Structure 1
Amino acid sequence: MKEALKVELDKVRRLSLSEQALEKYAESHGTDIVRFTQRNILRVYPKGTRFNSSNYKPQIGWLHGAQMVAFNMQGYGRYLWLMQGMFRANGGCGYVKKPDILMNIGPNNQVFDPKTESPFKKTLKVKVYMGDGWHMNFKQTHFDLYSPPDFYTRVS
């Protein structure tokens, strides 16, 4: 695997791995895979015994910088929803720019290590400015000062 992931400055190569091989090599060669995908193309495809059109976890390929993560589009479920959400970030065109963290090379020639804990968290704050439709179910006199409406918002 070390030979397959070797980066050559004067060549661009393509490597195809099954989902099983990627999971196996990501454990032992995670940073080598990230370094490879900075200048070369990595394609991940479903294992051959996946006959029921189900999908595998796409985050493993995306986290290591894989440019092509193949999907079974006839199946439905959580991993297909993740894929749809990922590509919705760019209008559903099928391409999302790789994050800078996967492209940067730090001092001492180090690259992003997918196994390390991230020191940052992101919080999503949502303000609902207007709700519509609730007034259809209640008369204006239904509420008073002691029993205000109790509404909730679900974001998905």
Structure 2
Amino acid sequence: MDGFEVVKAYKSLSSVEEAFRCYKSIDLKVRPIYHYKGDRVKAHIFLCMLAYYVEWHLKQKLAPLLFEDEEIDDKYEDVIKARRSDSAIAKDRKKRNEENLPVHSFRTLIEDLGTICLNTVECNLDSGKYVFYKITRPTELQQKALSLLGISSICTQ
């Protein structure tokens, strides 16, 4: 292992530590669970890691809408202190991305997406009972998030 690989491995340690802190914090909302059988412990750890992996992928896909640096140059970042890109500084300063959409933390973006819901409408008429379903019309920000995740706009009409 050369020097670059050693530094990169050491810096990735902080990501792992953040993941374990994340389990206990408000991101994943995992309370302490006590298991007494080996299989259950393994299953619990697997589910925690799977939840974090899904969250990591969501953050990667939703990066344009988050306070995330999208222009990281990995070539030199392993050895020297990370420097924020101009676009990340602009996002932080203006609180908006290049498309002029508001920039969020992961938690606030998920809360915003959580307002999309399926409404059941029931009409009782003399001719009978009619039931239909209507999905909340997404805002421009929500529609952008859905498209970044590869979710068709047909699903939200």
Rg (Cα) greater in structure:
1
- The question of a shared fold, defined as TM-score above 0.5 by the shorter chain, is answered with no
Q: Higher helix share goes to which structure?
A: 2
Scaled by the length of structure 2, what TM-score is found?
0.25
Scaled by the length of structure 1, what TM-score is found?
0.26
